[in-house]
Structure 1
């Protein structure tokens, strides 16, 4: 029997972040995961936006993560083969396994890591008994369930998954390689769909190291023959769906494995129980199209580890009323609601044929075009001044 205050079940992004935060705070914790080193997995490949980077910073892990990631600096925005804007960017490309393993490297040695899988939990208002696949038994005051999409353990606790939107979106990941030139002309680019009928919200191109990574998002059923065609002939299928993309990229081909991952939107019922708390995708999923998955994980874990666990450990017991405070946290609830609304709105604005959503698409196009024009006008004096002609920018 191993005794601890906190047992963290699952060592993905949420679980590893929780282990690092609790260990740094001096909280006794054990992390349980089947993998000593997190394996390659097609999930998050990019962090981005001021709000998301701020949420990462609140975990205390921002510096370590961003040192490993690739900052693109500028992200081109385009549609219909037209470059709309070149705004400064806070996008950082990093493969999911590198992200998780970077965070795991920040977990202090005081946090024990057990290579195994939790197969059962017996809960109470005092201590939780967790049995692992390797025969170990952990007694913890609180079990943090951060095992993502694995529902088996939650089912043993009477927690049921409710599908809100089956196959809400599908993500496709691959490397894009320039043909006839050493590199692409852009640092990064987000290219929005040309036709709602193609059921594509956008493709995002961004660097990870020296690679140009592509994440293409699609609203189709996973058994749609379109996916088989994409695997067979990715360049031709992509060009058919986004025919004017090459005006900006030039000729391209793909490299490496093409990864395809469908995403269901689901919530759980029956999760308000003594002794356990769900975080990240174990609590509820979001749509990868919106890029809010990391926002939810960092918000969940930061609020739990910085606000609630220290207060819970200061008093006896770990009853349901205590745990409920985390789920009712206004910061967490606001992030969950925002992420959920964005998932549904993004799908509608991308593929809905109604007059309102068509108007929304044109409004967004006009907004980006206007921003780009204002940016070019603001930059024009600097580009045409004698000083700029005789003293090039160091990056030129």
Structure 2
């Protein structure tokens, strides 16, 4: 039997970040994950905006951001015209690189156990974990950070309640220009012209020397469009986004195409002694809304900087202690924003109602005004391709 204060199950972004934070704070912890190195997976592929401040609060930002690629400027386009060229703080990084960079910051006194958690039992005092290698761990607290894997949660009486099945689908792939060395834009966000496209946006951004593409769509996994995309991605993109070629010139999709559907769900029955859920283990977000990293960093920062130190300062790990995390107003506000943004972006992208049509044109006008403001201020130099739209 191994003894520790905190056992973290799951070594993705949430679990690895928590292990690094607790280890740096001198808290006895271990991380349980079967992967020696986290494998490739289509999840978060860039950080920016408020996520950077949240990352800094973990104390892990400096080394993490060194592994990213900053685009510096993003072009925004619709109907084949550039409507804005804006300074950008987007940092591109593949998910496995992000997780492994976090893992590299875990102090040596935090043991990483390469096994699966096979069974869990909990109480208001200590928790027991049985591993796939037949080892056992006794911990004061279990942090369940195993994402979409519901097996352990089910054994504890926790259930997943889907609130929006296949809310969105993310397609991730690399693109490269044909007949020239590079694209004219440092990064590009292309907004759909019509709700019939059933897409939120296409974003192109650099990771190292590669231009990465994330295409966010609202479709069913049985939609023939997805098969068409696999068979002829370039033609399908141009048919879905008329005018895109004006931004990109000739291009080709290189490397594999990964497709990830995303359900929105919440976990029920989570309030139990000795166990706390973070990230996707608690609830999911819509990748198109871009709030997944917000949720992870908020959860882990509040848990490791505020709640775990308070919990460990006294005996026991009963429900009132655990409840303090779920009642944390910062966490609750982040959860509410994430869910609201998921539904708002979907409706703004595909709903045909007058309100949403007005919203789409309002967004177009706002982004155009932003582009004019940045242009007037000299925030960018015009590129060779694309031009500021004066009408739609």
**Fold shared by both chains (TM-score > 0.5):** yes
Partner residue, 2:385 = none
Question: Residue 86 of structure 1 aligns to a residue in which SS?
Answer: strand
Partner residue, 2:207 = 208
Partner residue, 1:2 = 2
Partner residue, 2:177 = 178
TM-score calculated relative to the size of structure 1: 0.95
- In structure 1, what is the Cα distance between the partners aligned to 2:42 and 2:347? 25
Partner residue, 1:77 = 76
Structure 2 gaps of 5+ residues are 382-392
Question: Residue 323 of structure 1 aligns to a residue in which SS?
Answer: helix
Partner residue, 1:391 = none
Partner residue, 2:36 = 36
Question: Residue 201 of structure 1 aligns to a residue in which SS?
Answer: strand
Partner residue, 2:271 = 272
Partner residue, 1:105 = 104
- In structure 1, what is the Cα distance between the partners aligned to 2:34 and 2:224? 34
**CA-to-aligned-CA distance 1:241-288 (integer Å, 9 cap, x gap):** 001011111111100000000000000110000000000000000000
- In structure 2, what is the Cα distance between the partners aligned to 1:375 and 1:294? 28
Partner residue, 1:245 = 244
- In structure 2, what is the Cα distance between the partners aligned to 1:185 and 1:61? 33
Superposition RMSD in Å? 1.2
- In structure 2, what is the Cα distance between the partners aligned to 1:176 and 1:60? 34
The structural deviation recorded for 1:181 is 1.1
- In structure 1, what is the Cα distance between the partners aligned to 2:377 and 2:100? 42
Matches within 5 A, 1:49-88: 49=49, 51-88=50-87
- In structure 2, what is the Cα distance between the partners aligned to 1:97 and 1:374? 37
- In structure 2, what is the Cα distance between the partners aligned to 1:45 and 1:129? 35
The structural deviation recorded for 1:378 is 2.1
Partner residue, 1:15 = 15
Question: Residue 120 of structure 2 aligns to a residue in which SS?
Answer: strand
TM-score calculated relative to the size of structure 2: 0.96
The structural deviation recorded for 1:375 is 1.7
Partner residue, 1:394 = none
Report runs of 4+ in structure 1 exceeding 6 Å deviation: none
**CA-to-aligned-CA distance 1:23-44 (integer Å, 9 cap, x gap):** 0000000100010110111111
Question: Residue 284 of structure 2 aligns to a residue in which SS?
Answer: coil
The structural deviation recorded for 1:180 is 1.4
Q: Do residues 193 (structure 1) and 192 (structure 2) align?
A: yes
Partner residue, 1:355 = 354
**CA-to-aligned-CA distance 1:81-113 (integer Å, 9 cap, x gap):** 110111110100000000000000000001001
Partner residue, 2:123 = 124
The structural deviation recorded for 1:377 is 1.8
The structural deviation recorded for 1:319 is 0.1
Question: Residue 73 of structure 2 aligns to a residue in which SS?
Answer: coil
